[in-house]
Amino acid sequence: MLLVDTNVWLEGLLEQEQADQVRRFLGSVPPELIFITDFSIHSIGIITITRGMAGLFEKFIADVVKDPSIHKVRLENGDLDLILKVCRSQHLDFDDAYQYVAAEKFGLTLVSFDADFDRTPRGRKTPKEIITNG
């Protein structure tokens, strides 16, 4: 079960350098194994709308958010202390700590391009590693 970080979704949506890798990853993993946080959904909305790409966000909503086989997870207000603890102990930004705590809480493997997770106990996998190692 894989928690896909915001940067992976954005890499594909914005057709950035590793977009092909993201497409191969998403095409090779059954959607039932994919999880996304509410924080990622909102962040993607902020970024795409700010860049004048409302249509892209609309497509993301239709393809990912409304897909019943892709799991949506959220942290509760009671988890904010955990996020702050992870920010301090793992030296992560708030957004990374949110993903980290969500992965930990729900027992998920974090899929990210962000190397900051490499120095944490949970680590991370890149989309390429998931494709290569199954």
Q: Is the pLDDT of residue 45 over 80?
A: yes
Beta carbons of 121 and 15 less than 8 angstroms apart: no
User: Stretch 10-25: mean pLDDT, rounded?
Assistant: 96
CB-based contact 84:98 (threshold 8 Å): no
pLDDT digits (tens, 9 = 90+) for 54-99: 999 999 999 999 999 999 999 999 999 999 999 999 999 999 999 9
Give pLDDT tens digits for 109-122: 999 999 999 999 99
- Whether the predicted pLDDT of 134 surpasses 80: no
Quickly name the fold that domain 2-133 has. Rossmann fold (3.40.50)
State the pTM of this model: 0.95
What is the residue extent of each domain of the chain? Answer: 2-133
